[in-house]
Amino acid sequence: MQSSSPAEVHAEDDPYILDVREPQELAQARIDGAHHIPLGELVERLGEVPRDRTVYVMCHVGGRSAQAAVYLEQHGVDAVNLEGGILAWYRDGLPVVLGEG
């Protein structure tokens, strides 16, 4: 499984970020423009994940996204785990939308 730091992902030109956290977690903090499929729905929604570009998978701290990245790789997706999840992204001072708005 490949992984990248938040800074590396943020430096990409228009990265496709897949957030596998639960809706209540998104309500607290999210990355603007990220796509959302909760980990528990990934199997049934696999067709929504692009196969023509790299998909950076994130969660809160990196555990669920690592599981999702392995699953996606097994199904032909170029998936990369975002190390440390949104927590590391926030700690690195990268842009995060806080709250529901």
Catalytic residues: 59
| Closest C-alpha among 76, 72, 39, 75 to residue 56 | 72
> What are the CA-CA distances from residue 4 to residues 15, 99, 101 (Å)?
12, 26, 28
| Cα–Cα dist 50/2, whole Å | 17
User: What is the helix (H) or strand (E) element at residue 82, kind and residue range?
Assistant: strand 79-82
| Closest C-alpha among 59, 69, 51, 56 to residue 22 | 59
